[in-house]
Structure 1
Amino acid sequence: MSTWLITGATSGFGRLVADRVLAGGDEVIAVGRRRDRLDDLVASAPAGQVTAIALDVTDTSAERVIGDAVKAAGRLDVVVNNAGYGLFGSVEQTDAGQAQAIFDTNVLANLAILRATLPAIRASRGRVIQLSSFVGSFSWPGSGLYSASKAAVELFSEGLAQELAPTGAKVTVIQPGMFATEFVGTSQVMAPNDVYQPTVGAFLAGVSQLPADAMGDPSAVADAILAVAKMDEPPLRLAIGQDAVDGIRAALTSRLAELDQWAAKDLPAKA
């Protein structure tokens, strides 16, 4: 029997993963902000299979609370760092408080969860699953701050994977495309001013007009997370959804082309 810790376990990808883990007979330390949804998760599982922790991962006590829960469980095999926050709007119109909030949730809280869980993950030669996004590899008009927070997760996770390599613990960054979860509806969206209407406004309008069938089935992401957790040699990054594969490939191709273009140029000498 394995023990999983899942943040954001009460909705979206987190809840789907929790349901699958529980159905397989493993134990879950479920972290979420809403007590009612945690109670529902507990009620859906055999007695004792879920440890529910009602917690905002940005709380200053999060690292201690999570660490205590892991110690009480006695072991930890998989941590799914899934809790996240969406913020969309122009870079200029994002005020300091909004920027702080997205990095507090998507970056600093993620790191706090890692500090609380990595000793047990090393001991079990376990798995770290980091939820990013395909826009952690590039940015659209309006996704600048969100993309930056996910890019930060991707890069410190890449460093972490190399640091953990001698211990046998593995790290995988999941890069979903657009899926039909509550994320879109709960994200904060800032209407652009006149300056950014042609860029940010056009982007937000395009997203809002996407048909329902443009969003993927979130079960695909949950299934991929379970598959990766069982692999002896999981990938460092895993893009899920054709939009994710196509978007990341186009971004990398563009960056390589620009690199090649400018590496061959002699820039003017400083006057």
Structure 2
Amino acid sequence: MPSTWLITGATSGFGRLVADRALAADAHVIAVGRRSDRLADLADSAPHGRVTTVPLDITAPDAEEVLTDVVRAAGGRLDVLVNNAGYGLFGAVEQIDAAEARAIFDTNVLANLAVLRATLPALRAAHGRVVQISSLIGQFAWPSSGLYSASKGAVELIGEALAHELAPTGVKVTIVEPGTFATEFATSLHVVAPDDVYAPTVGKFLTDFSELPPEAFGDPDTVADAIIAVTALDEPPLRLAVGADAIENIRASLRSRLAELDRWESFPRVPVGQGT
């Protein structure tokens, strides 16, 4: 029986690449995205009837209901969810206003949760797989990435809790942490230009990033291939960093955190006879 995949953000980047690979493996793909023209292009490129297109902004109030109905109409079985939709927001924490902060959490976190609620009953029935798309900076933050990193950190911790909660059901959860890859993400992210206060930190980081050479951006096929491969494992990892920069930076961050934990584990030291 062909597997059924639901992929959010299926119209570009990692989502489109994963959809193409799932279709090549004879899966039925429920493709969710905001751009109807790109969804139509995906459907036209696939064998007849193998793509169900769902033009949808996953932050819409009825998104959960729409996706629940779509999964039910597809037979109520879902083998793989790739929870991929999201966008980038970069700028100094102080300078990102409330509306911008709310928007990124609405998309990257609350909509992610709506997709999970809509799909988990069918995934449990199939002992399926959940792939949460995070980022290398879901594990730490750079100057300018505070709000984006916070949203992806939420995705990571939701995914970790979910893995524990779903363990008895047979559903496996993997959090994919891509490094820097050549997708539309880098050209479509929203940047809040820093003022003079943050020019030495946020401004310098953004300038340095904008000047990275093309070879600094990895081939996004690597991430799509990793997603396909990890969903086929009997015992997939909880977290999967993809890209040399992701592995290097996450490892450095974890080592720094461990060193800090070791250094401060006895703080504060209260002299004998003092304190309560």
TM-score category, normalised to shorter length: over 0.9
Alignment of 1:28-107 (within 5 A): 28-74=29-75, 75-107=77-109
What does residue 261 of structure 1 align with? 263
Aligned equivalents of 1:127, 1:244: Cα separation in 2: 23
**1:138–1:270: structure 2 CA closer, same or farther, 3 Å change rule?**
farther
- Counterpart of 1:46, as a letter, is P
Amino acid at match of 2:43: V
Q: Secondary structure at the match of 2:32?
A: strand
Q: Identity of paired residues, percent?
A: 67
1:208 is displaced (CA, Å) by: 0.1
1:143 aligns with 2:145: yes
Amino acid at match of 2:215: D
RMSD (Å) for aligned C-alpha atoms:
1.1
Please name the residue that 1:197 is paired with: 199
CA shift, 1:264, in A, is 2.8
Q: Which amino acid aligns with 1:230?
A: A
The alpha-carbon deviation at position 270 of structure 1 amounts to 7.4
Distance 1:216 1:193 in 2: 31
Query: How far, CA to CA, are the matches of 1:150 and 1:27 in structure 2?
Result: 28
Aligned to 2:73, the other structure's residue is in SS state: helix
Q: Which residue of 1 aligns with 2:24?
A: 23
Q: Measure, in 2, the Cα distance between the counterparts of 1:143 and 1:118.
A: 30
2:183 matched to which residue of 1? 181
- The residue that corresponds to 2:209 in the other structure is 207
2:228 aligned residue: 226
Which residue among 148, 157, 160 is the counterpart of 1:158?
A: 160
Deviations 1:64-91 (A, max 9, x none): 0001010011111000000001000000
- Deviation at 1:63? 0.2
User: What letter corresponds to residue 17 of structure 1 in structure 2?
Assistant: V
Equivalent residues, number: 271
Matched residue SS, 2:101: helix
* 1:105-144 map, 5 Å: 105-144=107-146
Secondary structure of the residue aligned to 2:93 is: coil
Q: Which of 244, 247, 250 lines up with 1:245 in the alignment? A: 247
1:11 is aligned with what amino acid? Answer: S
Which residue does 2:3 correspond to in 1? Answer: 2
For structure 1, list consecutive stretches of 5 or more residues without a partner in the other structure. none
In structure 1, distance between residues paired with 2:114 and 2:184: 24
SS in 2 for 1:92: helix
- Measure the CA separation in 2 of the matches of 1:221 and 1:270: 54
What one-letter code is carried by the residue in structure 2 that aligns with 1:53? V
Quote the Cα distance in structure 2 between the aligned partners of 1:14 and 1:258: 37
CA positional deviation for 1:267: 4.5
User: What whole-Å deviation, never above 9, does each CA across 1:120-153 have from its counterpart, x for those lacking one?
Assistant: 0000000000000000000000000000000000
Equivalent position amino acid for 1:63 in 2: E
Give the counterpart letter for 1:262 in structure 2. W
Q: What are the ranges of 5 or more consecutive residues in structure 2 without an aligned counterpart?
A: none
Give the structure-1-normalised TM-score.
Answer: 0.98
Taking the aligned partners of 2:227 and 2:259, their CA distance within structure 1 comes to 32
